[in-house]
Structure 1
Amino acid sequence: MTIVQSLVTARPRSRKALIALAACATPLVSGCTTLSTWLPSWLTAPPSFSLPWFGQSGPKVGPLPAFDAKATAQLNWQVSLGGSGGAGFAPAVRADAVYAASTDGALVSVDPATGTQRWRSNAGKPLSAGVGADESVLAVGTNKGEVLAFDGSGKPLWQAKVPSEVSGPPKLADGTVIVWSLDGKIFGLSAADGSRKWVYQRATPPLTVRRFAGGIVTRGALFSGTAGGKLLAINLATGALAWEGNVATPKGATELERIADVTSLPVIDERQVCAAAYLGRVACFDALRGTLTWSRDFGSLGGLALDNRYLYLTDDKGAVQALDKATGAS
């Protein structure tokens, strides 16, 4: 598993697992309607073909603009996990350690400065998602809904159960292990013993994009996107919904056309939180009250980035957009 995957891969294939300090989870289409193929962001309508030997010529593709690279990436180290990868996996990067896992149950802790392996363990069963970690606990999940917790040396701490497959890396914050399951539920488990603190659930559309992103935690709140184009702010201590924002509204005659899921992590600064929906919009909300600040018609599977001036996204037409984060202007 090289933890960098392509959005246009037809199907995930097994490969030798390697840790890299970048991760890109590729969403799958899932739901009550079975759709086993990958749904790339550019596939919004069936392609039309024009064959020149039938007397027609297709549109000419313009030249690519010159790209002046400002930096060069350099591989500092890599460590083999020894198993195949999956879209629900990403390294947990902390100042003192990098934790990673693979589908065959392998767990590894690595020194972030040197790449030296500190320890290697095995969960004892196949995994579907991982890794989430804080200063004392790391957590992974299985396709049978099992949540497995280990201490900082890789020793088992506890095991808990949720109703369906764990669909992405758990998130640990303030003594809570946050788990997303494939049926759309979000669970808050005690980091001490795995007991259930709370569960948040809502109705999901018949057809959804399978998401692995999870959410972000700040100021005592969990921000997470959902199927159907919603952004949620949830009280981390109680699981109560603080507010719900509408990123995009499903539209179209078929369930496939109506997919408007938030498939990637939101981004947040001191005032607002922003999210993007597939085949929908990008929208920013007041982080405390949930009121809409602005929105633009840019759909995205690839997620967002934020600096002190701009919100960046890759849209569903393959372009990179830089929007004024205060107004949404291009």
Structure 2
Amino acid sequence: MANLYSVATLRRTLLVLLVAVLSACASSTDALKPADLGANPALLGVRTAWSSKIAPVDFPLQVKVVGHTVALAAADGAVLSLDARSGAVLWRTPVGAPIAAGVGSDGRWNAVVTRDNELVVLAADQVIWRAALTTQVFTAPLVAGERVFVLGADRSVAAFDARSGRKLWQQQRPGEALVLRQAGILTAVGNTLVAGLSGRLVGMNPLNGNTVWDVALATPRGTNDIERLVDLVSGFSRQSNEICVRAFQSAVGCVDTQRGAAIWKRAAAGAVGLQGDELQVYGVEGDGRVLAWRRSNGEPVWTSDRLRYRDLSAPLVLGRSVVLGDATGLVHFLSRADGTPLTRLATDGSPIRVTPVVAADTLVVVTRQGGVYGFQPE
């Protein structure tokens, strides 16, 4: 069975290596300290509209937006739905075990996976079925077409009937020696199920799991398991039939899902996913540099060093901004045009690992301590 290698452990390993290199060149590691942010530019009018509290979030939570609601979960096993306009809790249901992955939702069915490797599906606020899984899961299930799809840590993909819980099919690929304890890619583009399997983006027939196309974005290299670790991480940018993704610490690239072919790929050393618009794709490198690439060909457009070493979340494109959370609970708004700061907001001071989302003109941010914040334009 593959060993699970957490992003935090990898970050610590990379940081130790970086510190060793810097120590050999200088007597100080001040270069690793975040720069002072200075005064808040406050060029955008944004206010805290509401806040709520759930249990701490110590797993790779993916907040699911359906209309004006958001579905989320906490490590204690609670799954809940909030009205993004007011922060009101619409329902809250315990699933009886700590949660490892979630939330998947189509607005009718909601799905999570527990740390006991059990897939749990709810209809609104009622648990309707459970299914035992043979592997750990760190990616939110995908609920689509009256099916629930699950991406396992062992590179397996399985499909279940959303009504009954009957297992429809399972496809297995050879696993690597190490896999990330981090959410991966699992989505639908048209009638194709798209999954990240190691360093490959794979299109599958959702009816039987057969491979339709297979595109390599990164290949294992190096002499040991850590150096050879490749995986596609959660957070992607989709425009029509084009999807852009990140391979952990190795590359970013875009794929044409109709042709099943890479449009471009470029070396990049980040650990969190991407977002984008019709012209550009935005991402965060491992040292906190924020980059924009031209969507058509991957050429760099701008780079911002202002948030280096702040351990940033994956970005969200919102209006004329790129929004990111950091390890101190700050929410940063950068200009999509050139990366200059527009404003920043405070939460509860704990890290923001969950990618921010937007629903009903409300920016929703979740912190590690379980703070849930709704920010709206003034």
Give the TM-score band, short-chain normalised.
0.7 to 0.9
- Find the aligned partners of 2:264 and 2:296 in 1 and give their Cα distance: 8
Tell me if the contact between 2:6 and 2:180 (Cα under 8 Å) persists in the aligned partners: no
Structure 2 SS opposite 1:224: strand
Aligned partner of residue 159 in structure 2, secondary structure: strand
Distance 1:119 1:41, change over 3 A: same
Structure with a larger share of its residues in helix? 2
Which residue is equivalent to 1:80? Answer: 53
Percent identity over the alignment? 25
Higher strand share: 2
1:149 matched to 2:112? The reply is: no
Match of 2:167 in 1: 196
* Partner Cα separation in structure 2 for residue 294 and residue 195 of structure 1: 39
What TM-score, normalized to structure 1?
0.79
Provide the residue aligned with 1:94 in structure 2. 66
The letter of the residue matching 2:78 is A
Look up the match of 2:240.
Answer: 270
- Distance in 2 between residues matched to 1:172 and 1:162, nearest whole Å: 17
Question: Which residue in the other structure is 1:211 paired with?
Answer: 182
TM-score, reference length from structure 2: 0.70
Rounded Cα–Cα distance in structure 2 between residues aligned with 1:50 and 1:96: 51
Equivalence for 2:251:
281
Q: What does residue 118 of structure 1 align with?
A: 90
How many residues align? The count is 295
SS at match of 1:115: coil
Distance 2:30 2:62 in 1: 39
Q: Hey, what does 1:23 align to over in structure 2?
A: none
SS at match of 2:234: coil
Question: Structure 1 residue 99: deviation in Å?
Answer: 2.2
Structure 1 position 221 matched with structure 2 position 221: no
**Residue of structure 1 in register with 2:131 after alignment:** 160
- Aligned partner of 2:211 in structure 1 is 241
Work out which structure has the larger RCO, using CA pairs closer than 8 Å and 6 or more positions apart in sequence. Answer: 2
1:108-129 deviation digits (Å, cap 9, x = unpaired): 2222211112222221233222
1:87 and 1:308 map into 2 onto residues whose CA distance is 31
- On the 8 A contact 1:41/1:300 being kept in 2, the answer is no
C-alpha distance in 1, partners of 2:42/2:6? 39
Structure 1 residues 195 and 116, CA gap change in structure 2 (3 angstroms): same
Identify the match of residue 226 of structure 2 among 256, 262, 269.
Answer: 256
**Equivalent residue number for residue 141 of structure 2:** 170
Query: Equivalents in 1 of 2:134, 2:254: separation in Å?
Result: 32
- Residue number in structure 1 paired with 2:262: 292
Measured in 2, the distance between the counterparts of 1:217 and 1:270 equals: 12
Mapped to 1, the partners of 2:230 and 2:155 lie a distance apart of 15
Query: What amino acid does structure 2 have at the position aligned with 1:326?
Result: S
Q: In structure 1, what is the Cα distance between the partners aligned to 2:242 and 2:138? A: 27
1:300 to 1:72, Cα distance in 2 relative to 1, 3 A = farther
**Conserved 8 A contact 1:304-1:313:** yes
The answer for unaligned runs of 5 or more in structure 1 is: 1-29
Name the CA shift for 1:278/1:107 in 2 (closer, same or farther; >3 Å): closer
Cα contact 2:7–2:181 (8 A) shared by 1: no
Paired residue type of 2:144: A
Q: Specify the alignment match of 1:107 in structure 2.
A: 79
Task: Go from structure 1 to structure 2 and tell me whether the alpha carbon gap of 1:244 and 1:72 turns closer, same or farther (over 3 Å shift).
Answer: farther
Structure 2 Cα separation of the partners of residues 122 and 35 of structure 1: 26
Whether the 8 Å contact between 1:210 and 1:263 is mirrored in structure 2 is no
Over the aligned positions, Cα root-mean-square deviation in angstroms equals 2.9
How many angstroms does 1:42 deviate by? Answer: 8.7
Question: Is contact 2:148–2:159 with CA below 8 Å preserved after alignment?
Answer: yes
CA gap 1:34/1:223 in 2 versus in 1, 3 angstroms: closer
